[in-house]
Chain A
Amino acid sequence: MSARDGDDTFLDRLQRRSDGRNVNPALGTLLGEGAQQRVTDLDRANPAHGFQAQVPSHFVADTAEAPSYHGLAAIKQPVWIATVPAYLFVGGVAGAASLLGLAIDVLGEKSMEPLARRCRLLGTAGDMLSAGLLIADLGRPTRFLNMLRVFRPTSPMSVGSWVLALSGALNSVGLVLGRSRGVLGVTGKVAGYSAAMLGMPLAGYTAVLLNNTAIPLWQSTRRTLPLFFMASASASAGSLLSLAPHTEREAEVLRPYRLAGKAAEVVMAHAVELDARRAPEVARPLSEGLSGTLWKTSRACSLAGLVVDALPGRQRWKQVAADMLTTVGAVAARFAVFHGGQASARNPQATFRPQRQGHGAAEVTGHAVASDGKPWSFPLPVVR
């Protein structure tokens, strides 16, 4: 039945008189705030609990020393999909490659120029692929533009979107105009150099993106994770450039570069583990479950990549094997950190215990008490 008076049929009018259905259907239109939610699948919206995963009466998550609410997670898990850890790798490679290109352009010799051009190509391709991966997570391209609606310095997501957009644009300009003459050439050079400078924050901000969250594993590794990501970015960029065919001459630059990156990566990964272990509950995903397996695999591959590369002898197969190992290690490390964060979000004690140990607000404000005003050793039941 139509809402407007003019359009109802004779039948409508008859029915209305006989059965009292003189209700305006427009009144049934959902107008509340939440009514804007488009619902296609009821149960998918609330997947946390599902049907009983375990018999509740057998569930013993709580102890007097460390209570929790039915063992439920205290914070939300990240909602990101696998394109995000993939982006953490690709973005890092793009940043590191652009930077190496700049160093060769400024300090290098004429015979190194093809390598510089390959660096810029890798950087630009990486930027484009990164944007694609981010868009895949957001769902549609206009949403990436939406990210540039404001600039919010407190949000690494905002800072990073700007860095990625600018470095992609500048790198492309640099690649297109780099070989022109005159004003165009200068413009291209300046653009390329600026993009390369942005490569450093591009490789590092991805770690800050994770650190600046409430996820215990990510928040507690904020002193070391950026260094690890940046070292790993240099190692992977060096490895990928070495995997591509290159001359003897270029190998003399690539070899020290990738060896330094690989060594730094191995050292910083160890530092990340130490940083996380300040609270044992937080470090647990690095040794258990899917994330633990990924992390151990990545450590083994990275170490093997470094050792094989550093061994004497310069056979091509040896170097290819080393670079493959390093690349696999770097990719696995991104996925390990990503899944480890999800695991630590699922575990309520990973949120509660470090905060009781003084790793919550106390770490930055010096107020070493929890919200109930009681220190960690406070004995449970007080009510007598």
Chain B
Amino acid sequence: MSRKGFFTDSTVCIGCKACEVACKQWNQLPDDGFQFTGMSYDQTGDLGCSTWRHVAFVERPVPMPGHSTGVGDFSWLMVSDVCKHCQRAGCLEACPTGAIVRTEFDTVYVQPDVCNGCGYCVVGCPFGVIDRRPDDGRAWKCTLCYDRIGEGMTPACAKACPTESIVYGDLDVLHERADNRLRELHSQGIISAYLYGKDAKNQPGTGGLNAFFLLVDRPEAYNLPPDPVVPTMKAGQAWGAVAVGALGMAAMAVGAVLLGRRGDS
């Protein structure tokens, strides 16, 4: 099976939230309640256990070339965020039960019947994607529509996207498409456009993302970390400290016993 993924081009996103709705509908995700956040047109806030696609709305006092809004220096940035299906997935490497697996499509999948709700994947994800539902006790996230792509169908969000902002397909094809789009934008003068997380060279901390993005502002503006790292890359140092600490503990115990000896045995 070839490697599948998403290419999300933020420059053509119109913020219609069709992807959010399609995802909720196909996967029959539970309702989150009705809340007014007051944060632009974003009433969802972030990705979570029952939100697997999330459209971010960034309002910024900077014009985009070729856009006229009539309200002065202003531009919209919208992007549909999703689980990145990382090449080195923090959630997968953290899961102690083997509930999180890599599928034949190279995506990252949580098996709900195996997950025991320890919540370790939640803190293992450097993007804050996966979450445990408090009243369900298990961790949930985007499956990249594992049930659809197995039947040769397109994931619900990509199918519903009216502007082709979300494109699903073979990773090689997506990479080529993204490179072409980037060249096109640069030639139009949008020189701030760049690809986020395309491959290991582009984002060494995750080994590249199967769901990567074309953005035109700093990652932080979209709530994406600028230099994420799978925590296990640094775990060696912590285990090293444990080794040193073990020597110290043993030395303290042995030393105390030797000091307490009187030679009266």
Q: Would you call A138 and B225 a contact (CB within 8 A)?
A: no
Contact of B28 among A35, A52, A80, A103 (CB under 8 A): A35
Within 8 A of B (CB), among A200-243: 200-201, 203-205, 207-209, 211-215, 218-219, 222-227, 229-231, 233-234
Digitize A126-155: 1 where CB-to-B-CB distance is under 8 Å, 0 elsewhere: 000000000001110001001101101011
Which of B13-21, B110-118, B158-166, B170-178 forms contacts with chain A? B110-118
Contact of B261 among A37, A108, A149 (CB under 8 A): A108
Q: Would you call A69 and B131 a contact (CB within 8 A)?
A: no
A313 CB–B CB distance under 8 Å: no
Question: What B residues does A74 contact at CB under 8 A?
Answer: 128, 220, 223-225
Query: Which residue of the partner chain A has the closest CB to B223?
Result: A69
Which of A8-16, A256-264, A303-311 forms contacts with chain B? A256-264
B222 to chain A, nearest CB (A): 6
Question: What B residues does A201 contact at CB under 8 A?
Answer: 242, 246
Question: What B residues does A112 contact at CB under 8 A?
Answer: 257, 260
Within 8 A of B (CB), among A167-193: none
With A100-B253, A107-B257 as given contacts, are A32 and B28 in contact (CB-CB < 8 Å)?
Answer: yes
Digitize B229-251: 1 where CB-to-A-CB distance is under 8 Å, 0 elsewhere: 10111110111011011101110
B60 to chain A, nearest CB (A): 8
Q: How far is the CA of A260 from the CA of B257 in the complex (A)?
A: 12
Question: What A residues does B49 contact at CB under 8 A?
Answer: 37, 45
Q: Would you call A371 and B226 a contact (CB within 8 A)?
A: yes
Question: What A residues does B48 contact at CB under 8 A?
Answer: 45-46, 48, 76
A290 CB–B CB distance under 8 Å: no
Digitize B157-197: 1 where CB-to-A-CB distance is under 8 Å, 0 elsewhere: 00000000000000000000000000000000011101011
With A67-B221, A371-B227, A374-B218 as given contacts, are A253 and B135 in contact (CB-CB < 8 Å)?
Answer: no
A383 CB–B CB distance under 8 Å: yes
Q: Would you call A39 and B135 a contact (CB within 8 A)?
A: yes
Question: What A residues does B2 contact at CB under 8 A?
Answer: none
Question: What B residues does A73 contact at CB under 8 A?
Answer: 46, 128
Which residues of B approach A to under 8 Å, CB–CB? 24, 26-33, 35-40, 42, 45-46, 48-52, 56, 58, 60, 62-65, 75, 90, 93-98, 112, 114, 116-120, 122-138, 140, 143, 146-147, 190-192, 194, 196-197, 202-206, 215-229, 231-235, 237-239, 241-242, 244-246, 248-250, 252-265
Q: Can you spell out 14 A-B residue pairs with CB atoms less than 8 angstroms apart?
A: A32-B147, A37-B140, A40-B135, A56-B39, A69-B220, A78-B122, A99-B249, A107-B257, A152-B95, A157-B94, A207-B241, A212-B124, A233-B249, A365-B233
Listed from nearest, the 7 A-B pairs whose CB atoms lie closest are A361-B205, A360-B227, A32-B28, A257-B256, A69-B223, A253-B260, A158-B96
Which residues of A approach B to under 8 Å, CB–CB? 30-52, 55-57, 66-70, 72-76, 78-80, 96, 99-100, 102-104, 107-112, 137-139, 143, 146-147, 149-150, 152, 154-158, 161, 199-201, 203-205, 207-209, 211-215, 218-219, 222-227, 229-231, 233-234, 250, 252-254, 256-257, 260-261, 264, 345, 348, 351-352, 355-356, 358, 360-365, 367, 369-374, 378, 380-384
